[in-house]
Amino acid sequence: MSGPMARWQPDARNRLAAAALDLYEERGFEGTTVAEIAERAGLTKRTFFRHFADKREVLFSGTDELERLIVDGIAAAPATEAPLDAVVAGLAATAEVFDAERLPYARRRAAIVDANPDLRERELIKMERLSTSIAAALGERGVAEPAASLAARAGVTIFHVAFGQWVGGEEQRDFGALIERTARELRAVALA
């Protein structure tokens, strides 16, 4: 099929995301245009921009959902939980989206981000935003500064290390279990 498909075609967002990943792997992120992504997906540039602000957003569009899951998980943690324990509970809540079905996509995405300095910078900005949201969620629980910021930054580190192990391993591993194990390792290092 050549040329764009009609706008009513189903699942445009996922088709655009799949086309973008394929092109980023084939040509590199910098070597890929929005027009090429839309064409590969059989859609128009206009349709692309209905779903994504720019070509980076294809890789970062789940940030709001991730943040919501973590913040909601922190809020749902028992009031008696220590700040870091509440953060770990929030991080573990992300296991519902970081499952075996998402792992192939996550591995591809991680490789594309790792290969591009601008995308790595964007990932750091995303983690900084997440840290701010976690600290605010802890503040809502009555955790004062600097404890809220320290627990938030420790939580982002736990998430980053666990995510790297999840996408980097040969076998499929439970993301929630990786969060818990990484938190235990951080506590062991801090107390050593």
pLDDT tens digits for 21-62? 999 999 999 999 999 999 999 999 999 999 999 999 999 988
9 falls in which pLDDT band (50, 70, 90)? Answer: low
- For tokens 């973008």, name the residue: 20
Q: How confident is the model over 148-177, as a mean pLDDT?
A: 93
CA distances from 167 to 73, 87, 102, 154 (A): 22, 21, 10, 20
pLDDT, tens digit (0-9, with 9 covering 90-100), for 59-108:
998 899 999 999 999 999 999 999 999 999 999 999 999 998 999 999 99
Q: How confident is the model over 10-20, as a mean pLDDT?
A: 92
CA distances from 8 to 3, 11, 47 (A): 15, 9, 10
Does the structure show a pLDDT above 70 at 7? no
- For tokens 């992504």, name the residue: 37
Q: What is the pLDDT of residue 5?
A: 45
**How much is the CA Rg of the chain, to the nearest whole Å?**
19
| Contacts made by residues 35-42, CB under 8 angstroms, sequence distance 24+ | 38/4, 39/4, 41/12, 41/15, 41/16, 42/1, 42/3, 42/4, 42/5, 42/9, 42/15
Three-state DSSP class for residue 34: helix
Q: Tell me how far apart the alpha carbons of residues 68 and 73 are, in angstroms, rounded to a whole number.
A: 8
CA distances from 4 to 24, 41, 43, 89 (A): 20, 8, 4, 45
Domains, in order of start, for the chain: 12-58 (1.10.10.60), 62-191 (1.10.357.10)
Q: Tell me how far apart the alpha carbons of residues 51 and 71 are, in angstroms, rounded to a whole number.
A: 25
User: Which residues touch 81 (CB under 8 Å, ≥6 apart)?
Assistant: 89
Burial class (CB in 10 A: 0-12, 13-18, 19+), 25: middle
How many other C-beta atoms lie within 10 A of the C-beta of residue 88? 28
Q: What is the pLDDT of residue 169?
A: 77
Does the structure show a pLDDT above 50 at 141? yes
